[in-house]
Amino acid sequence: MRILDLLRRLAQPHDSKIVLLVLDGVGDIRTADQLQTALEAANLPHLDALAGRSALGRLVPVYPGVTPGSGPGHLGLFGYDPSDPEADIGRGILEAIGEGLPIGPGDVAARGNFATADRAGNLTDRRAGRIPTEECERLCKGINLALAAALDAAPIPGLVVHVAPGEGHRFVLHLQGKIDGLPLSAAIADTDPQQLDVPPLAVQATTPEGEATAAAIARIVEIVERAIVEEPRANRALLRGFSQLPHLPQIPELYKLRAGAFAGYPLYRGAAAASGMEIVPCGKKFAEILDVVRAAWDRFDFFFLHVKQTDQAGEDGNLAAKIQVLEDVDAHLPELLALGPEVVAVTGDHSTPAPMKAHSWHPVPLLIHSAICSYGFADEFSERACAHGEIGTIPSYQMMSLLLANAGRLAKFGA
Amino acid sequence: MRILDLLRRLAQPHDSKIVLLVLDGVGDIRTADQLQTALEAANLPHLDALAGRSALGRLVPVYPGVTPGSGPGHLGLFGYDPSDPEADIGRGILEAIGEGLPIGPGDVAARGNFATADRAGNLTDRRAGRIPTEECERLCKGINLALAAALDAAPIPGLVVHVAPGEGHRFVLHLQGKIDGLPLSAAIADTDPQQLDVPPLAVQATTPEGEATAAAIARIVEIVERAIVEEPRANRALLRGFSQLPHLPQIPELYKLRAGAFAGYPLYRGAAAASGMEIVPCGKKFAEILDVVRAAWDRFDFFFLHVKQTDQAGEDGNLAAKIQVLEDVDAHLPELLALGPEVVAVTGDHSTPAPMKAHSWHPVPLLIHSAICSYGFADEFSERACAHGEIGTIPSYQMMSLLLANAGRLAKFGA
């Protein structure tokens, strides 16, 4: 990531404020059955008016044709090249950070699901009937007691283990320390078989370096499942996304700004925290997020706002719902602009076309407004207008330097 | 080529089929004397209709301003960055592979031309009056006998040498093995002076590592020319493009698909074979190629179809001929579409503008059709429509991942 060294050199403090509004999965496509994209079909008077005073363009999240998960999608927006192995960051870590766990260098985290298995040990529900969060919290408390007792009786020298509850049936497994003096490894295969009527997979290392950690986790899984074996629904634990913290250059030092993340879901808080942003607790709806942004306006220079519902509607194949989310964001947009940020960017971490019911690789519409953005090619925020916009089609990781430039935060390079 | 490691990781099997139709040198330019490009001037009802249901864009074969030969042009289309030294592949090797010679790692091949020299040894015809292929075959047979006899009498230990006839005055020189235990080198300058009224150039190494091989080849040239000295026309042999097999990741393993090449000319078969495709013998006209594709439809997932005549017409500066080739392709396009491929791409390996009578660097029109390509910006296949298309202007080597994505053959990257 050589370009980050250049940006670090050029970044300079300024009193300007930047708002990055991420409409998750906003990009859409036209097909024989869906003649308009969500942005085209929605009624967006404020976004369209803003587009008329903005530079437009498109972002390629990772590489043409490559569909990103939310982690790589967001790291790209924050200026990191997600195809760089140094930026490879697992979902386990992202969720653990997003839940506020004190993940440190060398720690290993995995995402956990409580699940239901029958008498024969075969899975009958991979989400344990979507148990309520309170039940998940009770289970995790019991598991942590069982882990402490078992590891007190027969320790794994140097290792600290605990689980933390997430929403519903979700939890995070967090390992700290070493095993017999050796560093932990995240080279562990998922134990979630991703299908029913089979037992969970055995814990297995994917490289020889992972074997000591895999053996420890196999024992941990035994302890966990013994602790919940009598539960009516959540009697199994499935693990996936074993991962460690990547060594990302941190945004405050890199770009010389105070960065706050306003995201209602753990994964996005995790990506922001891994980049060095401060996580500001907030709700999930755009209006709720705006309230928190307003209250924190003096504390930050850079505001990452994350709206999840566009992606959810796309994943559901529900164009009408996607349109409604966009129209709701549009209705509240004047409140955001009234705060007076010098730079406003609106884009997504990837496309989630309703016809595909999934993330996709299609380039993502981008709008950048500032007093010096240059504008005038279009008066609507849509895939087509953005394809023909002033910014062109660029990799996501090249957007951040444009935001800094529009904010007067990048010094001239060379004399 | 780090990105290939990412694509290898993401590529997944699928039952979808991809057709890549390469119209060699299809791109063209407008000048004061040629007010329309070949695509603009041609009547292409089927291609235009397909464009209306396709994502459009343009490919930059190597780098802005860099005119590619056919080798780099095609390697780019197959996903390799042709500016990467690892993808450097000489024309000698491409033709040798394309002729079906069993080229192995470490072998050296060069393209040969039979030529005519006068009594003083100066060249009077660099193509020996374009002798017929049968005469070329007879000459090569004699040369191989002479090489065997001479190297039997005074061997070059470890070296195996022979020549193979091509079309007309063309042949391939193929060296296998070692010289006194040292590997062969392709660091040998061309002996073709590229002009008349001078003698062929002496064999010379371009680096110290090439000297042993150069000395062996100097002896081989002596033997060859002694064998043909009494020929009325083909009394000299000119060599160029000394090269060795590059270590390209092979397409079946890399992209997890069965790839077939349907090309009537050796060079393009060579590029396809070097990439790991299976060469399917076929004719040179589009209709003949289609017959073979149809018969092989069940055997492959990826079909590379090569139409040469667009380039030939461009090289001849014959716009009318280029238009005619395009209209012939257009007339047969429905037969190709009737096979029902999930993804169809139409593009070229480079531009061959008729006004330039040569390959050029100009971006090449690209069309990608699939059920999820997203479309609607244009209803014609032309340089202008493609410049404003959904895909944007991308390096050729980024097209392959788009084809895989449209075919559902790339898994999501990261969580």
Closest CA to A161 of A89, A246, A91, A239: A239
Tell me, yes or no, if A357 comes closer than 8 A to chain B by beta carbon. no
pTM: 0.86
Distance of CA B55 to the CA centre of its chain: 26
Closest CA to A234 of A150, A96, A95, A124: A124
Is there a contact between A393 and B392 if contact means CB atoms under 8 Å apart? Answer: yes
Strand B159-165 to strand B170-179: parallel, antiparallel, or no bridges (unpaired)?
Answer: antiparallel
B179 membership: H or E segment, kind and range: strand B170-179
Average pLDDT on B221-245 reads 94
Q: Which residues of chain A have pLDDT under 70?
A: 1
Query: For position A30, what pLDDT does the model report?
Result: 97
Contact B121, B199 (CB under 8 A): yes
Place of tokens 């393009």: B268
How distant, in Å, are the alpha carbons of A106, A293, B45, B104, B345 from that of B42? 63, 58, 9, 44, 19
Q: Which residues contact A16 (CB under 8 A, 6 or more apart)?
A: A301, A342, A343, A407, A408, A409
Tell me, yes or no, if B119 comes closer than 8 A to chain A by beta carbon. no
Query: For position A2, what pLDDT does the model report?
Result: 85
The CA distance from B182 to the nearest CA of chain A, in Å, is 38
Q: Which residues of B190-318 form beta strands (DSSP E)?
A: 236-243, 259-263, 278-279, 302-307
Query: Please, what is the average pLDDT of chain A?
Result: 95
Contact A241, A172 (CB under 8 A): no
Closest CA in chain A for residue B5: A83
Query: For position B108, what pLDDT does the model report?
Result: 94
Contacts of B376 in chain A (CB under 8 A): 30, 35, 384
How distant, in Å, are the alpha carbons of A113, A145, A166, A208 from that of A74? 24, 36, 21, 31
Nearest 5°: CA angle at B233, between B227 and B238?
Answer: 65
- Residue A403 or B157, more confident: A403
- In the sheet with B55-60, reading across from the earlier edge strand, the strands are B278-279, B259-263, B302-307, B18-23, B343-347, B364-369, B55-60, B392-395
Is there a contact between A83 and B376 if contact means CB atoms under 8 Å apart? Answer: no
Alpha-carbon distance of B223 to B203, in angstroms, equals 13
Crossing angle (nearest 10°) for helices A91-98 and A266-274: 100
Place of tokens 């940006």: A7
Is there a contact between B374 and A69 if contact means CB atoms under 8 Å apart? Answer: no
Average pLDDT on B203-229 reads 96
Residue B122 CB burial class (10 angstroms; 0-12, 13-18, ≥19)? middle
Report CA dihedral (B193, B198, B203, B208) to the nearest 10 degrees. Answer: -70
A2-87+248-406 classified as CATH 3.40.190.10: no
Place of tokens 């950048």: A368
Tell me, yes or no, if B18 comes closer than 8 A to chain A by beta carbon. no
Query: For position A283, what pLDDT does the model report?
Result: 96
Tell me, yes or no, if A246 comes closer than 8 A to chain B by beta carbon. no
At residue B123, φ and ψ (nearest 5 deg) are -70, 135
Tokens of B375: 């479309």
The per-residue pLDDT for range B48-98, each reduced to its tens digit, is 999 999 999 999 999 999 999 999 999 999 999 999 988 888 778 888 888
Place of tokens 């791409």: B345
Report CA dihedral (B399, B403, B406, B411) to the nearest 10 degrees. Answer: -90
Alpha-carbon distance of B349 to B59, in angstroms, equals 9
Crossing angle (nearest 10°) for helices B399-406 and B2-10: 10
Q: Which fold has domain B11-89+248-406?
A: Alkaline Phosphatase, subunit A (3.40.720)
Contacts of A112 in chain B (CB under 8 A): none
Q: Which residues of B293-391 form beta strands (DSSP E)?
A: 302-307, 343-347, 364-369
Contacts of A56 in chain B (CB under 8 A): none
Contacts of A62 in chain B (CB under 8 A): 413
The CA distance from A141 to the nearest CA of chain B, in Å, is 27
Contact B410, B402 (CB under 8 A): no
Average pLDDT on B41-46 reads 98
Nearest 5°: CA angle at A249, between A247 and A254?
Answer: 170
End-to-end Cα distance, chain A: 24
- How many inter-chain contacts (A to B, CB under 8 Å) are there? 99
The per-residue pLDDT for range B194-211, each reduced to its tens digit, is 999 999 999 999 999 999
Is there a contact between A353 and B372 if contact means CB atoms under 8 Å apart? Answer: yes
Contacts of A70 in chain B (CB under 8 A): 414-415
Alpha-carbon distance of A342 to A382, in angstroms, equals 23
The per-residue pLDDT for range B107-136, each reduced to its tens digit, is 999 999 999 999 999 999 999 999 999 999
Identity of the residue in A66, A91, A383 whose CB atom sits nearest the CB atom of B410? A66
Tell me, yes or no, if A178 comes closer than 8 A to chain B by beta carbon. no
Is there a contact between B391 and A356 if contact means CB atoms under 8 Å apart? Answer: no
Average pLDDT on B365-369 reads 98
Identity of the residue in A30, A68, A356 whose CB atom sits nearest the CB atom of B413? A68
Interface of A with B in 71-100 (CB under 8 A): 71-72, 82-83, 88-91, 94
Percentage of chain B exceeding pLDDT 90: 88
Closest CA to B47 of B360, B356, B323: B323
Contacts of A91 in chain B (CB under 8 A): 414-415
Contacts of B77 in chain A (CB under 8 A): none
Neighbours of A273 (CB within 10 A): 22
Alpha-carbon distance of A397 to B342, in angstroms, equals 31
Tell me, yes or no, if B390 comes closer than 8 A to chain A by beta carbon. yes
Residue B347 CB burial class (10 angstroms; 0-12, 13-18, ≥19)? buried
End-to-end Cα distance, chain B: 24
Closest CA in chain B for residue A364: B390
Q: Which residues contact A394 (CB under 8 A, 6 or more apart)?
A: A57, A58, A59, A60
Tell me, yes or no, if B52 comes closer than 8 A to chain A by beta carbon. no
At residue B300, φ and ψ (nearest 5 deg) are -130, 160
Average pLDDT on B301-320 reads 97
Give SS3 for A385: helix
Give SS3 for A295: helix
The per-residue pLDDT for range A177-228, each reduced to its tens digit, is 999 889 999 999 999 998 999 999 999 999 999 999 999 999 999 999 999 9
Q: Where are the domains of chain B?
A: 11-89+248-406, 100-243
Tell me, yes or no, if B247 comes closer than 8 A to chain A by beta carbon. no
The CA distance from A229 to the nearest CA of chain B, in Å, is 29
A50 membership: H or E segment, kind and range: helix A45-52
The CA distance from A261 to the nearest CA of chain B, in Å, is 19
Is the confidence at residue B17, as pLDDT, over 90? Answer: yes
Confidence of residue B344 (pLDDT cuts 50, 70, 90): very high
DSSP assignment of B116-159: EE-TTS-EEETTGGG--HHHHHHHHHHHHHHHHHHHHHS--TTE
Is there a contact between A65 and B412 if contact means CB atoms under 8 Å apart? Answer: no
Alpha-carbon distance of A386 to A199, in angstroms, equals 48
Tokens of B361: 């660097």
Query: For position A1, what pLDDT does the model report?
Result: 65
Q: Which residues of B309-391 form beta strands (DSSP E)?
A: 343-347, 364-369
Confidence of residue B1 (pLDDT cuts 50, 70, 90): low
Identity of the residue in A69, A362, A387 whose CB atom sits nearest the CB atom of B415? A69
Query: For position A99, what pLDDT does the model report?
Result: 81
Report CA dihedral (B241, B69, B4, B16) to the nearest 10 degrees. Answer: -120
Contacts of B403 in chain A (CB under 8 A): 65
Residue A249 CB burial class (10 angstroms; 0-12, 13-18, ≥19)? middle
